Amino acid sequence: MRMAQKKVGTPFTKATAAENGRKGGIKSGQKRAELADVKALAKKIASGNYTDRDGKKMTGLQMMILTQFRKAINEDDRQCCVAFKNFMDMLGYMPEQEREKFEREMKLKDEEIELLKKKVENFDKEEW
């Protein structure tokens, strides 16, 4: 004996398609407006004037670049690198090809770090 199938939702018609398209358009517009607000805030932060820990006055972008440089010299902070990349991308400084190159280089760095860790482990195991 077959069980009766329930109809779920409303039937798909031209009217429902048009309504769904309208809803999607509204959501898309809201997301674009949110992104525009975030980009405007990022530009405001980047162009703002700040004083660094040494008392030097600089823009937010200059300060971020200096901080990123200091981190790159002193420590391996991948999260900082990714956050900086995202911020620069938001400002429009990193085109798609550069972003792909950056991501490939970060992957290679991770692989190099793992390889170096293995070499260090093997070095510790060798007898002198």
Annotated domain spans of the chain: 14-76
Which pLDDT value is given to residue 127?
Answer: 53
Q: What is the pLDDT of residues 25-40, one digit of tens each?
A: 898 889 888 888 888 8
At residue 5 the predicted structure's pLDDT band, cuts being 50, 70 and 90, is: low
Say yes or no to pLDDT of 122 above 80: no
**Token pair listed for 91:** 């400002």
pTM of the complete model beyond 0.75: no
Which pLDDT value is given to residue 128?
Answer: 44
Look at residues 29, 44, 21, 22 and name the one whose alpha carbon lies nearest to residue 90. Answer: 44
Which pLDDT value is given to residue 76?
Answer: 63
